[in-house]
Amino acid sequence: MHLPLDRTSPTPLVQQLTDHLQTWIGQQRLRPGARLPSIRALARSQAVSASCVIEAYDRLVASGWLEARHGTGFFVAERKAGLAMEDAQPWGEAGDGSWRQFREGHDELLKLGCGWLPSSWRAATELAQAVRQVSRGNPQDLFDYCPPLGLASLRQQLHKRLAQLGIAAGPERILTTHGASHGLDLLVRTLLRPGDTVLVENPGYYNLYNLLRQHQVHMLPVPRTAEGPDLATLEVLLMAHKPRCLFTNSLYQNPTGTSLTPKVAYRLLELAREHDLRIIEDDIYADLQEGPATRLATLDSEQRVI
């Protein structure tokens, strides 16, 4: 078996090996039940390390293309009748089935309903250089647990970045997460209890809606206008229900794409003070904004904005 591995390609050898083997199986050049070369034999024929072959085989086992038999080797797995159709299906569903998104393999399509950037926007060379630099550092930094708040050097850089945006937040007040949804989940678990009431924008972020439902938090929808949350509706809801929090996007709100105006922002902060409201500002698109922008965290003088 000879597979055309390209050592000049930015794609890692293990990924190339995995892709070629999967293609062979998909084209039935390797039939179900066929035994693959041993790890040592394939590593020798492809001039790669044994660990490279092991990882490729493990990936194919995990995705159902191969079957590992103890003491015997790796064999092409029997593919169920409906599995090929499921693999080709480009759609995925949210927890309640109400929202669909494109999975990988559709890079030519703009994913307007999500926050993924086009592949062509990724600084692949710079990211690869950063990964290499990190891998040459202290091995403990790679394998040991970070402090609970996150890596100190990373929080220091985030502090500097936030300062450039006019947001005063020392490193000790910054907590790193695995993404915006993880951050929202931590906030809901920490600040809210089942039965609490919060304000959400309508239309708004479907993941947030699902999260609040799972925690049995009651949501009051506030219409999103071109200038931000509808203030008239907001004031009525504040008077009638005394909600704990308002969840909002200031810049490029998902899914409307609208941004907060200074007039609405100042009034939001006044209402938050009057009604003892905490505002959770989801600003995941901060780096897409060039020039001045209106952010609640920048204007917040009473520390009501997270």
Tens of pLDDT, residues 241-298 = 999 999 999 999 988 889 999 999 999 999 999 999 999 999 988 888 888 889 999 9
Residue-wise pLDDT tens for the chain (306 aa)?
678 888 888 888 888 899 889 888 887 778 888 899 999 999 899 899 888 899 889 888 888 889 888 888 899 988 655 444 344 333 333 434 444 444 445 555 656 556 566 777 777 888 888 888 878 877 777 788 888 899 888 999 999 999 988 898 899 999 999 988 899 999 999 999 999 999 999 999 888 999 999 999 999 999 999 999 999 999 999 999 999 999 999 999 988 889 999 999 999 999 999 999 999 999 988 888 888 889 999 999 888 999
User: Residue 4: what pLDDT?
Assistant: 83
Q: Residue 119's pLDDT is what?
A: 73
The b/e string for 148-159 (b: 16+ C-beta within 10 A; e otherwise) is: eeeeeeebeebb
Residues 6+ apart with CB under 8 A from 100: 91, 92, 93, 94
DSSP element (H, E) containing 75:
strand 73-76
CATH class of segment(s) 177-299:
alpha beta
Q: Which CATH architecture has domain 13-76?
A: Orthogonal Bundle (1.10)
Q: What are the CA-CA distances from residue 252 to residues 39, 119, 200 (Å)?
A: 50, 20, 16
CATH 1.10.10.10 spans which residues of the chain?
13-76
Alpha carbon 54 to its chain's center: 28
- Looking up tokens 């559709």 gives 106
pTM of the complete model: 0.62
- State residue 223 phi and psi, 5-degree precision: -55, 140
Dig out the tokens for 89 from the structure.
């299906």
Instruction: Show the tokens assigned to 46.
Output: 């492809």
Residues of the chain with CATH 3.40.640.10: 177-299
Q: Which three-class secondary structure state does DSSP give residue 188?
A: helix
Q: Which helix (H) or strand (E) holds 93?
A: strand 91-93
Neighbours of 116 (CB within 10 A): 13
